[in-house]
Structure 1
Amino acid sequence: MKKFTWLAIAVVAMLALALPGCSNGGTSNTTSAGPLKIRVATDATWAPFEYVNETTKKIEGFDIDLLNAIAAKVNLEIEYVNVGFDPLLAGMAQGTYDAAISSITITPERAAQMMFSDPYFTAGQMITVKLNNTTITGQASLSGKKIGAQLGTTGEVLAQDIPNATVRSYDEIGLAFQDLLNGQIDAVICDTPIANNYVKKNSTALKTVGSALSTEDYGIAVAKGKTDLLNKINQGLSQIKSDGTIDQLVTKWLAG
């Protein structure tokens, strides 16, 4: 009987260790959930919205601060992936990434391949030319000219609609501005904040002309099927709109 008793106690002890939450070493079902980890694509060549800091080698900008602020509100952990804009759109359509933030204009064509958050910024397409250019004053005077735009952007779409224009598409918008400065092309079409940023940095060489060619809303792209993630992002976005965070980011990154 004594032998059986000790054997029974040993079996009970082993079972207790095997059951979750029955010992200090087990995992409790009542522990709080950790952050939801997501992979977010961005084309870090569109300062001041997203770019690589040459000193720290980290991706930063308006969009990055905005999504980090959302993540803090709704318990997300973000891994940023730096990828070209055209591959970014293809990756989102294929579900390669959970989400993307990269000055992405919400369009019906894109919305058919991915989901979008509520809009967080309104921009447009702007024409940039060399400071001494007097022949290009707006969209009508782009006919027959050489126009640069980034591959896969709404700026490229608009450029391709210009009659008799020669459109050069670039993997990075910075390469288009480099060719503009070197006289290889006559104009660049891109988002207003990006155009303004390049003009600010090259005020003795570049200028914008005419009015914005469009009005466009930026949204955070989310892979189809990830409705819970989209809801979280919209929840966080609503909170940072209400508490003034977006206004602070505009002042930090876009003022002046």
Structure 2
Amino acid sequence: MEPKKILKVGLDSAAPFPMHSDYNSEKFEGFEVDLMKAITEHLDLEVEYEVSLWATILEKLFKGELDLICSAVTVTPSRRHILEFSNPYLHFRLCAVVNSEDHLKDVNDLKNKTIGIREATEAERYVHVNFPANNMVHAETNRELYRKLQAGKIDLLIDDSPIAGGFLQKNKKLKVGMYLPKTDSQYAIAMKKGDTQLRDQFNEVLGLLKENGTYQTIYKKWFTDIQF
């Protein structure tokens, strides 16, 4: 038997659970981990993960040192220019997370607040565009961001709703203050621009997994208790 072809997959070290946990923790798990396993088993490929900061894995993908990134990558028009995307595998929104005693009625309530965001994310871009005058606090990881909110260093944070849901399951002192209007988004698998063969293979298998119920089983496992 010839050895399986190895697929090099980039992971964001910020560990956006429940999409995926910290690769170096005792238990590496998550929605994307199960999804990737199902896809690669179908294609008879072996996965080799590489973990680093978002900017680094992106650079490695451009250089061809990675085959793809499956790590809560939001599809955006500007990213479409530089990356090849699979069909989306999750729809979500951005949300504002606050301490449980705080209340947000609408977007105007975000004015004059200190907002926490993770660097190089769509949440960061949203805040820069919509609240450029606000005081912003940046964090490199999600964990650091939620810690700042609990410590009162920021008034609220903005994050992708599934990731916020994962954090709030473990943290009853925080809640989603509101979902932000017009922020409907999608996660997809990012590949090197022009890598259409791999993209088509992945799209075909994603379609099959949705048809045969595997996708729905993985979805229910990770998102039954998470509101987003």
Structures share fold, TM-score greater than 0.5: yes
Q: 1:196 aligns with which of 151, 165, 168?
A: 165
1:49 counterpart letter in structure 2: M
1:59 paired residue number:
28
CA distance, structure 2, for counterparts of residue 212 and residue 74 of structure 1 = 38
1:108 paired residue number:
77
Residue 215 of structure 1 pairs with residue 184 of structure 2: yes
Deviation at 1:140, TM superposition (A): 1.9
Deviation at 1:238, TM superposition (A): 1.3
CA distance, structure 1, for counterparts of residue 98 and residue 63 of structure 2 = 36
- Flag the structure with more relative contact order, 1 or 2, with Cα contacts below 8 A and sequence separation at least 6: 2
Deviation at 1:156, TM superposition (A): 0.8
Contact 1:145 1:164 in 2 (8 A): no
Alpha-carbon spacing, 1:133–1:40, altered in 2? closer, same or farther (3 Å): same
Deviation at 1:174, TM superposition (A): 1.1
Deviation at 1:52, TM superposition (A): 2.2
Paired residue total: 222
Residue 144 of structure 1 pairs with residue 125 of structure 2: no
CA distance, structure 2, for counterparts of residue 172 and residue 223 of structure 1 = 25
Equivalent runs, 1:176-191 vs 2, <5 Å: 176-191=145-160
Contact 2:107 2:180 in 1 (8 A): no
- Report the more deviating stretch, 78-87 or 108-117: 78-87
2:121 counterpart letter in structure 1: T
Alpha-carbon spacing, 1:91–1:152, altered in 2? closer, same or farther (3 Å): farther
Name structure 1 gaps, 5 residues minimum. Answer: 1-31
Equivalent runs, 1:1-256 vs 2, <5 Å: 34-44=3-13, 45-52=15-22, 56=26, 58-134=27-103, 136-161=104-129, 162-203=131-172, 205-213=173-181, 214-256=183-225
Deviation at 1:108, TM superposition (A): 1.1
Contact 1:117 1:233 in 2 (8 A): yes
TM-score by length of structure 2 reads: 0.90
Q: Kindly provide the CA deviation profile for residues 26-71 of structure 1, in whole angstroms up to 9, marking residues without a partner as x.
A: xxxxxx7653212100115111111127762x53210011011000
Percent identical pairs in the alignment equals: 28
CA distance, structure 1, for counterparts of residue 154 and residue 85 of structure 2 = 34
What is the DSSP-based 3-state SS (H/G/I as helix, E as strand, rest coil) of the residue aligned with 2:49? strand
Greater than 4 Å deviation, 4+ residue runs: none
Contact 1:92 1:114 in 2 (8 A): no
What is the DSSP-based 3-state SS (H/G/I as helix, E as strand, rest coil) of the residue aligned with 1:59? coil
- Report the more deviating stretch, 45-54 or 149-158: 45-54
Contact 2:97 2:178 in 1 (8 A): no
Name structure 2 gaps, 5 residues minimum. Answer: none
CA distance, structure 2, for counterparts of residue 244 and residue 163 of structure 1 = 44
1:182 counterpart letter in structure 2: A
CA distance, structure 2, for counterparts of residue 95 and residue 209 of structure 1 = 41
Contact 1:43 1:50 in 2 (8 A): no
CA distance, structure 1, for counterparts of residue 187 and residue 23 of structure 2 = 23
TM-score by length of structure 1 reads: 0.80
What is the DSSP-based 3-state SS (H/G/I as helix, E as strand, rest coil) of the residue aligned with 1:165? coil
- Report the more deviating stretch, 240-249 or 89-98: 89-98
| Root mean square deviation of aligned Cα | 1.9
CA distance, structure 2, for counterparts of residue 228 and residue 251 of structure 1 = 30
Q: Kindly provide the CA deviation profile for residues 199-219 of structure 1, in whole angstroms up to 9, marking residues without a partner as x.
A: 22111x111112344111110
CA distance, structure 2, for counterparts of residue 156 and residue 114 of structure 1 = 20
